[in-house]
Amino acid sequence: MSQFTNYLKTRVRELTTTIDAQKTELAAYEQLLGIELAKESKPAEKSPSESAPQAKVIFTPTAPTVALANVSYTGNKTTLMADIVRSFGKAGASPKDVDRILTEKKIERSQNLVYNTLSYLVGQKKLQRKDGRYFSVGTTPAPAKASKSAAPAKRRISPEGIKRIREAVKKRWAAKRAAERASA
């Protein structure tokens, strides 16, 4: 199989996963809409305790929806991207997820801003990267490693070593002076 064929297969899998996630999200929103419409059409005389119990609907929006709702833009794009990744929680955020949210918020950016900023935040140890996804690093610093000694001992040159260095320097300067006299 060619490399292009492998790429196409991978891309089809990614798109299928994305479409499935969007279908699930759409179904959940439709359920919520149905519940809200049902609440509006009920008579106002009955209190919630008097009405018949309804089936409990568990709705979990996908990560991009959660991230978009929990993040506000204050003018600093670096902070915004860190907040976006943090809002994805344990699932982590891909650069495409971050880019999608920036597009939804209508924030202008250069072509490589997302990748450059995420790399910068990894370098600052504010984010971690694993398998193409970025995860927020906890606010508590990692415990310091215990060392056996406070500092390594400094190396000392023996008196014989110092004497050899002095002699070598004298020879070098003598050779340089001799070369200057010969050229003059």
pLDDT in tens, 69-118: 567 777 788 888 888 888 888 888 889 988 888 888 888 888 888 989 99
Residue 146 lies in a domain: no
Q: Which helix (H) or strand (E) holds 174?
A: helix 159-183
Judge contact between 98 and 85, C-beta under 8 A: yes
Residues 90 and 129 in one domain: yes
pLDDT range class, residue 55, cuts 50, 70, 90: very low
Residue 11 lies in a domain: yes
pLDDT range class, residue 68, cuts 50, 70, 90: low
Residue 145 lies in a domain: no
pLDDT range class, residue 30, cuts 50, 70, 90: confident
Q: Which of 98, 117, 68 is nearest to 126 (CA)?
A: 117
Residues 73 and 132 in one domain: yes
54 vs 122, which has greater pLDDT?
122
CATH of the domain at 109: 1.10.10.10
pLDDT range class, residue 42, cuts 50, 70, 90: low
Structure tokens at 127: 């984010």
Residues 39 and 69 in one domain: no
Q: What's the mean pLDDT in 133-153?
A: 65
Residue 150 lies in a domain: no
Residues 133 and 66 in one domain: yes
Number of separate domains in the chain = 3
What mean pLDDT value characterizes the chain?
78
Q: What's the mean pLDDT in 132-156?
A: 68
Write out the residue range of the structural domain in which residue 86 sits. 62-137
- Across the chain, where does the E strand assignment appear? 127-130, 133-136
The region of weakest confidence among 58-62, 68-72, 123-127, 169-173 is 58-62
In this predicted structure, what is the pLDDT of residue 158? 93
